[in-house]
Amino acid sequence: MSDSPSTFENFKLNKQLLDAVSEAGYTKATPIQEKAIPLALAGHDLLGIAQTGTGKTAAYILPLLMKIKYAQGKHPRALILAPTRELVMQIEEAAITFGKYTDLRFVSLYGGLGPKTQIENLQKGVDIIISTPGRFLDLYRKGEIFTKEIKTMILDEADKMLDMGFMPQIRSILEVIPVKRQNLLFSATFGSKVEKFSHEFLEFPERVEVSPQATTAETIHQVKYFVPNIKTKINLLLHLLEDAGLNRVIIFTKSRKNAESVFSFLERKRLGEIRVIHANKGQNTRINSMEDFKAGEVRILVATDVAARGLDISMVSHVINFDVPLIYEDYVHRIGRTGRAENEGMAITFINPAEEYHFEKIEEIIRVEVPTLQIPTQVEIPQTPFEEKQGYEREIDTQKKKENPDFKGAFHEKKVKHRPNPDQKKEKRGNKNSKAKRNRNQLKSQGKWKKNG
Ligand code: AMP
């Protein structure tokens, strides 16, 4: 393979596809496309490690369209599974774009709305199904999908699917589709879960990987606050939002529950138009919220990672990580929403005691030590309620056990003693934050945003 990027003409794609690719404005293949397309076209099973933004969708859609070629019969011959409705819709869009000069029929299936239209679409005849695992299985069990002609199976964002607990559904699907088939698995990360699953799913796979784009954009200023408890997170959030400069803000939370709590709290404060998106919100509500936000009619969007994944929301003035993301790569996705196209953006992360461990891991991945800011004096810092503190301690124990399986667990020892010794605790936290303190000292004055560490 030459050093210069391939043009699409170098791949064994037909004219219908090449015309569509060129109309989509693609001239050069991205690295993942360059590596994956020839292998997939040759019929190999493929393990692709690539994030959103690398061009991974076209890397598997083009060979798939080339293989399926034209409409035939009534039943699906390929299945693409993706974790969220948004990603399913996005993949369908790519399929339509590249399949525009073919007569191929795509049907996308996802939850959040009744299955009637989806069933009607299936009954009209389909070549490629793009679906979330749950809805595919529902409709299969209703007898609406004939699976015996499926010869290609693609899993996109496999890591996310496994993290979201879709493994049982994926296994059930694998039981009902033919064993003899081509499998492609794409994942942003290659942790132990994905690795284990890949052995089960893929046969002699070719592995293609593009280096993780963990380097955070130059135009994004990142800062972090160490925040002792949830109440202080809320107070700090309110304080920051008093600044009108934060005019297009996404607040990320790790769960639907937190998203709802933050949303209802802020809504009462009347800080401007605000919306919330998470997996429990109806499809239309989510799309409308996003459109309003994009149009500049909404100041604040509260979102979970799952809901925001794959959504084309950019030009955000500030990203506030109300919670540290548990999937570390999501940090990069989150903050990538700001600082697009030469606009300077800011990413602010709130870190509670149990999240310090996770944020350190994120800093390792992005190879940046994010500067720490002190909580402004105007922000009230209430005491951490006992139960909340216990919760953090329990999590910290789990983290320590993960790092060192011999660790006995300070939390349980303390429980026997009934009460943690406050002095000891203070000292422990002091040590823990020493790195942060050094950082803080470096930042002589508050409000001085240091670029990327
Ligand atoms: P993906 O990683 O598949 O989500 O793609 C990220 C974005 O890159 C999408 O907006 C694609 O349309 C775009 N894209 C993918 N491949 C190419 C290419 N070869 N040339 C230009 N844009 C591309």
User: Exposed (0-12), middle (13-18) or buried (19+): which is 288, by Cβ within 10 Å?
Assistant: middle
d(CA 13, CA 18): 6
Q: Phi and psi of 230, rounded to 5°?
A: -65, -40
Interval between CA 53 and ligand 1 midpoint (Å): 6
Instruction: Compute and round to an integer the Cα radius of gyration of the chain.
Output: 24
Whole-number percent of the chain with pLDDT over 90:
59
As a whole number of angstroms, the distance between CA 424 and CA 245 comes to 41
Report which of residues 114 and 432 the model is more confident about. 114
Q: List, edge to edge, every strand of the sheet that includes 106-109.
A: 106-109, 128-131, 78-81, 152-155, 182-187, 46-49, 206-209
The answer on 168 and 258 residing in a single domain is no
**Domain-embedded: residue 445:** no
Q: 335-348 as b/e, with b when 16 or more CB fall inside 10 Å?
A: bbbbbeeeeebbbb
In this model, does residue 449 exceed pLDDT 90? Answer: no
One domain, residues 144 and 174: yes
Distance 398 CA to ligand 1 centre (A): 39
| pLDDT exceeds 70 at position 32 | yes
CA of 5 to the centre of ligand 1 (A): 14
Helices (H), 177-255: 192-201, 230-241
- Most confident region among 112-116, 129-133, 396-400 by mean pLDDT: 129-133
Q: Is residue 403 assigned to a domain? A: no
56 lines ligand 1 (CB under 6 A): yes
Q: What is the per-residue pLDDT across 204-214, written as a single tens digit (0 to 9) for each? A: 999 998 865 44
Take atom 8 of ligand 1 and give the residue whose Cα is closest: 55
Same domain, 55 and 202: yes
* 391 belongs to a structural domain: no
Question: In this structure, which residue's CA is closest to atom 12 in ligand 1?
Answer: 55
47 lies in some domain:
yes
Name the nearest CA neighbour of 1 among 49, 43, 37: 37
Predicted pLDDT of residue 70 = 95
Judged by average pLDDT, the poorest of 75-84, 309-318, 354-363, 385-394 is: 309-318
pLDDT, position 318: 92
* pLDDT attached to residue 358: 92
pLDDT of residue 276: 92
Q: Please tell me if the CB atom of residue 153 comes closer than 6 angstroms to any atom of ligand 1.
A: no
pLDDT at 395: 93
Question: What's the pLDDT score for residue 368?
Answer: 83
State the total domains in the chain: 2
- The 10s digit of each residue's pLDDT in 395-429 is 999 888 877 777 776 655 444 444 444 444 443 44
How many angstroms separate the alpha carbon of residue 57 from the centre of ligand 1?
A: 7
> What's the rounded mean pLDDT across residues 146-153?
98
* Domain membership flag for residue 245: yes
More confident residue, 14 or 448: 14
| Atom in ligand 1 nearest the alpha carbon of residue 90 | 4
Identify the CA nearest to 136 among candidates 169, 165, 93. Answer: 169
pLDDT given at position 106: 98
E strand residue ranges, 372-450? 372-373
Of 383, 403, 434, which closes a domain? 383
Is the Cβ atom of 6 under 6 angstroms away from ligand 1?
A: no
The rounded distance, in Å, linking the Cα atoms of 186 and 280 is 25
Mean pLDDT, residues 142-152 taken together: 97
What is the number of the ligand 1 atom nearest to the C-alpha of 27? 20
Quick one: pLDDT at residue 423? 41
Assigned domain for 172 exists: yes
Query: Do 205 and 225 share a structural domain?
Result: no
User: Parallel, antiparallel, or unpaired: how do β-strands 300-304 and 249-253 relate?
Assistant: parallel
Please compute, for residue 213, the number of CA atoms within 13 A of its CA located in the half-sphere on the CB side: 16
Q: How confident is the model at residue 306 (pLDDT cuts 50, 70, 90)?
A: confident
Say whether pLDDT at 452 is over 70: no
Q: Is ligand 1 within 6 A of the CB of residue 29?
A: yes
The least confident of 42-46, 56-60, 70-74, 218-222 is: 218-222
**What pLDDT digit, counting tens, does each position of 236-263 carry?**
999 999 998 898 899 999 999 999 999 9
d(C-alpha 239, C-alpha 49), whole Å:
40
In angstroms, what is the span from residue 55 Cα to ligand 1's centroid?
A: 4
Quick one: which atom of ligand 1 is closest to the CA of 50? 2
Residue 39: pLDDT above 90? yes
At 432, is the pLDDT very low, low, confident or very high (cuts 50, 70, 90)? very low
Instruction: Band the pLDDT of 86: cuts 50, 70, 90.
Output: confident
Q: What is the mean pLDDT of residues 357-362?
A: 91
pLDDT digits (tens, 9 = 90+) for 367-376: 788 999 999 9
Helix/strand/coil percent split, the chain, to 5: 45, 15, 40
Question: Which residue's CA is the nearest one to ligand 1's atom 7?
Answer: 53
When pLDDT is averaged across residues 426-438 and rounded to a whole number, the result is 42
0.95 cut: is pTM over it? no
Mean pLDDT of 318-331: 89
54 lines ligand 1 (CB under 6 A): yes
434 against 143, higher pLDDT: 143
Task: Write out the residue range of the structural domain in which residue 50 sits.
Answer: 8-209
Q: Is the C-beta atom of 57 inside 6 A of ligand 1?
A: yes
C-beta 55 within 6 A of ligand 1:
yes
Ligand 1: which atom is nearest the Cα of residue 24? 12
Angle, CA 331 vertex, CA 327 and CA 334 arms, to 5°: 120
For the chain, what is the mean pLDDT? 85
Among 330, 362, 383, where does a domain finish? 383
Identify the CA nearest to 328 among candidates 228, 220, 251, 214: 214
Same domain, 196 and 278: no
Segment 198-224 shows an average pLDDT of: 80
Q: Identify which of 23, 49, 57, 187 to mutate to test ligand 1's pocket (most ligand atoms within 8 A of the CB).
A: 57
Predicted pLDDT at 163 = 87
- Domain co-membership, 202 together with 228: no
Q: What is the pLDDT of residue 412?
A: 53
pLDDT at residue 168 above 60?
Answer: yes
- Predicted confidence band at 336 (pLDDT cuts at 50, 70, 90)? confident
What pLDDT sits at residue 289? 85
183 and 228 housed in the same domain: no
Residues 228 and 288 in one domain: yes
53 lines ligand 1 (CB under 6 A): yes
Higher pLDDT, 185 or 450: 185
**Which residue puts its alpha carbon closest to atom 1 of ligand 1?**
55
159 and 245 inside one domain: no
Q: How far does the centroid of ligand 1 lie from the alpha carbon of residue 291, in Å?
A: 21
Ligand 1 pocket test, pick from 8, 26, 157, 208 with the greatest ligand atom count within 8 Å of Cβ, gives 26
Residue 287 — very low, low, confident or very high, per pLDDT cuts 50/70/90? confident
State the Cα torsion 98-100-102-108 to the nearest 10°: 70
Q: Is residue 237 domain-shared with residue 144, that is, in the same domain? A: no
The answer to whether residue 80 scores a pLDDT higher than 60 is yes
The best mutation among 54, 80, 213 to test binding of ligand 1, ranked by most ligand atoms within 8 Å of the C-beta, falls on 54
Are residues 129 and 102 both part of a single domain?
yes
Whether residues 48 and 194 share a domain: the answer is: yes
> Of the residues 327, 355, 383, which one is the last residue of a structural domain?
383
Residue located nearest, by CA, to atom 18 of ligand 1 = 26
Assess whether pLDDT exceeds 90 at residue 359: yes
CA of 34 to the centre of ligand 1 (A): 13
Q: Is residue 420 part of a domain?
A: no
Q: Is residue 395 part of a domain?
A: no
Find the 54 Cα to ligand 1 centroid distance in Å.
6
More confident residue, 382 or 26: 382
Contact predicate 64/78, CB 8 Å:
yes
CATH number reported for the structural domain that contains residue 289 in this entry: 3.40.50.300
